Structure 1
């Protein structure tokens, strides 16, 4: 489990294909605190540490993960949002995030408004995922509140701190992002569908 509060940015140093898997090595200030088999969220995708040293570590994304997320678009030098699993018994600053991406979305606009940024996104409605205004959404691992919500569109407002300390500062129209919809909303939606 994660909170969606990004701890730091990492930088991809190496991408190595092995059959249908992709081994991703990341330079990160968290590396010296990690251990083998630990879970870390990468742009919201929970992956297991398989190798590490004091400055970098390696995780593996399987084909299914590459098909459902934006990790297949990473290049050497790409920045990555990083969060370690939450510690039980401490304050939950974001919301409950599983690290399981539901689908991707495309950024449709980036607007500056009175010192903050409004990012709008569009996603494939065929997956039956929904957002609601003032509800939670996780974008590339960042826990956010939905500002405007449509059938397959939504917007979020980003404060300058979040813009500067996450991969949001790299987004432009056409950028592909990972989405994890609110887990409680997904269960409610599924229960309603089963009743009909």
Structure 2
């Protein structure tokens, strides 16, 4: 479990293909603190550390993960948002995040508001029941608040700290992002669909 509060940025140092899997070597300020078998969110995707060396850690993304996320499009040198799993004895500054990406969205616009930034994203309309005005969403692993919600799009506002300490500043119109919708909303939607048979 995660909170969507990004702990560090990492850089893809090397990328390998093994069958249908992709193997990422990631260099980051927290890599030397990690241990093998630890869960770490990479752009919001929960992956298991399977090797360590020289200030880098290695993770493997399988075909299922590559199909549902933007990890398959990443290249050496690209930045990743990183978060270690939450400690259950403190405050949750974001919201409860599983690291299980539901799908991807596309950045459709960026506005510089002279002190903050507004990003607009489009989504598959099938996800419309999972987004609400002022609700929570995780974009590339970052916990954010939605507004201007429609059936196939939404906006988020970005403060300077988030802009400087995550990879959202790399997004441009057309960029694909990983989305994880609010877990409580997903359960409520599932119960509603079972009760109505839709």
| Alignment pair present for 1:83 and 2:83 | yes
Query: CA offset at residue 126 of structure 1?
Result: 3.2
**Structure 2 unaligned regions, length at least 5:** none
8 Å contact kept, 1:129–1:181 = no
Query: How many aligned positions are there?
Result: 196
- In angstroms, what is the RMSD of aligned CA positions? 1.0
Q: Distance in 2 between matches of 1:42 and 1:173?
A: 21
Q: Distance in 2 between matches of 1:158 and 1:133?
A: 16
Q: Distance in 2 between matches of 1:53 and 1:156?
A: 37
Structure 2 partner of 1:52 = 52
**Structure 1 unaligned regions, length at least 5:** none
* TM-score normalised by length of structure 1: 0.97
Structure 1 partner of 2:150 = 150
Structure 2 partner of 1:168 = 168
Q: Distance in 2 between matches of 1:129 and 1:120?
A: 18
Structure 2 partner of 1:125 = 125
Structure 1 partner of 2:159 = 159
Q: Distance in 2 between matches of 1:129 and 1:139?
A: 17
8 Å contact kept, 2:4–2:143 = yes
Q: CA-to-partner distance for each residue in 1:59-115, whole Å, 9 max, x for gaps?
A: 000000000000001100000000000011111111000000000000000001241
Query: CA offset at residue 48 of structure 1?
Result: 0.2
Query: CA offset at residue 130 of structure 1?
Result: 2.4
Query: CA offset at residue 53 of structure 1?
Result: 2.2
What's the secondary structure of 1:149's corresponding residue?
Answer: coil
Q: Distance in 2 between matches of 1:78 and 1:72?
A: 12
* TM-score normalised by length of structure 2: 0.97
8 Å contact kept, 1:4–1:141 = yes
Q: Distance in 2 between matches of 1:132 and 1:150?
A: 9
**4+ residue runs of structure 1 moved beyond 3 angstroms?**
126-129
Query: CA offset at residue 147 of structure 1?
Result: 1.7
Structure 2 partner of 1:29 = 29
Q: Distance in 2 between matches of 1:10 and 1:133?
A: 31
What's the secondary structure of 2:130's corresponding residue?
Answer: coil
